[in-house]
Amino acid sequence: MKAYTFYLLTIGLFSMGIYCILCRETFYLNRRSIRSLEEKVQVSRVWQSLKDKQEALRKKKINQMADKEIYEGISFLRNIISIDRGKQVGTDFIIEKLSEREGSLQRVYMKMLSLLRVNKRREAQQIMGEHLETTIGKEFAGLLMQWDEINPLELSEILISHQKSIKELRMTERRKRDEMISDMLYFPVILNVVIIFINFIYVGYFINQKELLEMLF
């Protein structure tokens, strides 16, 4: 009877041990799967952040290129006005001339022109407003749409004013970029000074502690 009881007890303990091992392995597997899932989520977030930054840089480059083309396009329009001084040059003619110039805005001008010729003025302005996300682009789109309503003698001054605004904005952006580069160049120097200062504090503290220990012992 005792042997039978011992046998049952041994089997029970053995079964309990196996059960505990299986539970522990299941726990470890679940924890590993959770950790793996968290790592995948983290990698996905990092990848999405990189994609967002890349997309932002791409849009910024497109906007800068568009602003540059607008500046050159305004110079082109000023030449047309100076040749046909005092004459009423319509929006259709202006956009047609702009669409003949190669660049990133050429297709936009062509779409605008096709919409204007079927009397879809609002849609034409929306297309240019959607493509030109910068303040300069939106102002230029509004200027083109109001071209027929502006006095020909005042157009030159308006175009010069637009060019000045573009130039000031570009100078501001260049100044910010130069300041950022300057900060990046000075950062290692400042970091070295901070490290030296921390080392100085640490050495001073260590010397004080050493002197205190020598006095005590």
Per residue in 38-83, pLDDT (tens digit) is 666 676 676 777 777 777 777 777 777 888 888 888 888 888 877 7
* pTM score, whole prediction: 0.57
Locate tokens 């190669």: which residue? Answer: 102
Residue 185 lies in a domain: no
Residue 70 lies in a domain: yes
What pLDDT shows up at residue 16?
Answer: 60
Residue 89 lies in a domain: yes
3-class secondary structure per residue, 87-125: CCCCHHHHHHHHHCCCCCCHHHHHHHHHHHCCCCHHHHH
Residue 9 lies in a domain: no
**Number of independent structural domains in the chain:** 1
Residue 29 lies in a domain: no
Residue 190 lies in a domain: no
Residue 94 lies in a domain: yes
What's the CA angle centered on 64, arms 176 and 45, to 5 degrees? 80
Section 150-166 average pLDDT: 81
Task: Give the distance from CA 213 to its chain's centroid.
Answer: 56
What pLDDT shows up at residue 26?
Answer: 61
Residue 208 lies in a domain: no
Residue 69 and residue 163: Cα distance in Å, rounded? 11
Residue 26 and residue 43: Cα distance in Å, rounded? 25
Helix (H, G, I), strand (E, B) or coil at 137: helix
Q: In which domain, by residue range, is 94 found?
A: 58-161
